[in-house]
Amino acid sequence: MKNLNIGILKTDTVRESLSPEFGEYPDMFTKLLSETDDNLNLITYDVEHQEYPRDINDVDAYLITGSKYSVYDNEPWIIALAEFVRELHRTHKKLIGICFGHQMVAHALGGRVEKAGKGWGLGVSESTLTSSDSWHTSDNRFNLLMSHQDQVMEPPGNALVIATTKFCPILACQLENHILTFQGHPEFSKSYYHALMEVRREILGEELYSKALEGAKKSIDNDKVARWIVNFLRKE
């Protein structure tokens, strides 16, 4: 199997109190994906600080991480990332979007992203893929940890919504054969999620904090989703 070079587009920094134990978001994705396929080479580009590859073809595929920011924030680095996503789409470059990345793809390509009136999406989300494509396993049910306030309200016109829940109707999308996005976090371990909720406890308030922990008791399918991502990236 040939080596696959993946550019991780880093859009946030893990809180200083958590990074010694859990690492940065690219570390989480490297661990997740490398355990699925040991022929991957992951290279980080800190796009929050305008760091990009010299050439779009320096790597085979890209992945946009999660972030505390909103894709509709009028920040120069966010505007630049949206343009880079449009370039990736124009050239049919493989791209994975996770949480903020899922929202960025929608935002950049003509969809609509807003802060959800329903409030925080927290805990484990249970869903089923509706795609009939060959990159995923026959067992298409999956659970992922969620941590978001913004949601994709309208997908880009050419996107297929391939997973949904009542709380988050646009949970995952596929655009043709080169873009795949998820609102959930396959890179989050249960221990990181619990530590993150503890840090956000004051912001969330005790009632929502308790619900966030209670809602995270179900099993998660990080390994399954990681396999789907790798299969999608390797599919010709």
Q: Which residues are catalytic?
A: 99, 185, 187
In order, the DSSP letters of 219-236 are ---HHHHHHHHHHHHH--
Give rounded-to-5 percent helix, strand, coil for the chain. 35, 25, 40
The answer to whether 145 and 124 have CB atoms below 8 angstroms apart is: yes
Q: What are phi and psi of 118, to 5 degrees?
A: -75, -10
